[in-house]
Amino acid sequence: MGLVLASVSDKTGLKDFASRLKAAGYDFIASGGTAKTLEEAGIKVKEVSEYTSSPEILAGRVKTLHPMIHGGILARDTEEDRAELKALGFIEIDIVIANLYPFEKTISSPDSTESDCIENIDIGGVALLRAAAKNYSRVAIICDPADYEAAASEIEKTGEISLALRKKLAIKAFDLCTRYDAAITSWLSRLSTLSCDMEEKTSFALCAYPGQDLRYGENPHQRAWLYTNEPKTGPLGGRVLQGKELSYNNILDADAAWRAVSMFTKPAAIVVKHLTPCGLAEINEELPEASAFSPHSEVSLALRAAIDCDPVSAFGSIIALNRPFDKAAFEELGSLFVECIIAPLFTEEAKELLSGKKNLRLIEAPFPQEKELYEYKSVLGGFLKQEKDLGDPECTEYKDAASRKATPLERSLLQFAMKACTMVKSNAILLAAPIDPANPQKGFCSVGIGCGQPNRVDAARQAIERAGERVKDAVLASDAFFPFPDTIEEAGKAGIKAVIQPGGSIRDDLSIEECNKHGMAMLVTGVRHFKH
């Protein structure tokens, strides 16, 4: 009936699929390892080296790269091409079953050497995919075991694979080649000492795997999809444990929350709504393990403090913790309605308790990988690419600028406030205070956040208003310099004792004078943190 070429790295489902093709009358040629698999299934097969009368060479680097193979694949359905093949003693190949060496899996393994990765760059397989996909008018290319059933069913029903399915399979093959090449380019660029100089000289390929069809986008009239960096992974690279299907907006907020809480090394929690932090907190002191005598865990105290920053906005929010979500955290959540919780782990006890909230989504997610150095935004006609803002660099100097120097406690609190402020949309002002005024070293939390304002003084007024009475214990962080002293004036009137800012305004001296007038300390970092 026809000739099948099989050369696969992933042999999942191959024996059953090949048996169905054999029953339909197809003959087989295959590369070495694939040929052995087919023989184990009782299928008569001729090895490629025997078929071409050319041995595999260079330890298997060259197997299928031969005119007899590629001529058989690329020959068009014309009298001229058939006559040329006949004159050469070649035969048309009708179906190609091929997939690629697991390059992406290899580079993700910490045990893989550079040589291992190089040897897993597939050459012949990609050539087979491209050749067969190019000639989809006659040849079927099957690169995904998930398509074996559809192909076999069509052959059994109609005697052939339809043109519509061949086109679909060709698209899938070219898509695989695109992702594969992008992964190689990305890996080699990270490996090369020349990569920094080559950033602007290499093309940008955005390749991802289909994740899921979403119910809709930001609004019901917009369609939306989720794509993932790794195949068969869930949102944030993790897995959803329970709850309703995540929406487009849920995923955006979950991403913002998880990125933010992952910046903290000590136990921390964050509450996010519409990409905006409503509250966040970090615990400095280690507590004994939660028990009947000490019912709180560090992360549960952080969660309570983060919610208390803005309990009104916390309704319908997304919550993220950088420690396992436990029973104590569940009890701090109380009756508050939230859309989703993200954590590196949920304890069995917590999962049992949370199972009563049927619609609440739970995501167990891995922490963001350090290798993800860049972030991207789409603009009309292209993309923007930039290095991620990971907060103040380790070399940052926190310089006292006002007459009164910041106390050690204020310095720690101000640095927490600035780290938290980097996660807030500009113009951003964040007020922070000790979680427990009686034990100020226990931990810090935000108490008022002003964000997304077109001018800085309005952001400050918003933060001060939300802080209420807690403003008296607070310090203030600003994501960028103060263009005028009016923000410091508002902070002084509210009773704020210290501020931190990048500095760099031509009117810095006026803001410093305002600090001196109110007896406020000021730290200047030299590092701006705009966020748009």
Torsion of CA 302, 306, 309, 313, to 10 degrees: -160
Residue 389: is it exposed, middle or buried by C-beta count within 10 angstroms (0-12/13-18/19+)? middle
User: Is residue 274 flagged as an active site residue?
Assistant: yes
Q: Which residues pair with 189 in a beta bridge?
A: none
- Give the Cα separation of 311 and 466 in Å (integer): 10
User: Is residue 66 flagged as an active site residue?
Assistant: no
Q: Which of 134, 167, 244, 517 is catalytic?
A: 134
Q: Which residues pair with 282 in a beta bridge?
A: 268, 444
Q: Which of 167, 266, 274, 517 is catalytic?
A: 274
Q: Is residue 354 within 8 Å of residue 319, measured between CB atoms?
A: no
Amino acid at 500: I
Other Cβ atoms within 10 Å of 231 Cβ, number:
12
- Distances from the Cα of 129 to the Cαs of 95, 248, 312, 408, in angstroms? 11, 34, 56, 63
Q: Is residue 318 within 8 Å of residue 253, measured between CB atoms?
A: yes
- Give the Cα separation of 4 and 13 in Å (integer): 16
- Give the Cα separation of 89 and 462 in Å (integer): 81
First to last CA, the chain: 61
- DSSP at 222: S
Q: Which residues of 455-474 are buried (b: 16+ CB within 10 A; e: fewer)?
A: ebbbbbbbbbebbeebbebb
| Dihedral-angle region of residue 341 (phi above 0 means left; psi in -120 to 50 means alpha; beta otherwise) | beta
Which residues are known catalytic residues?
134, 274
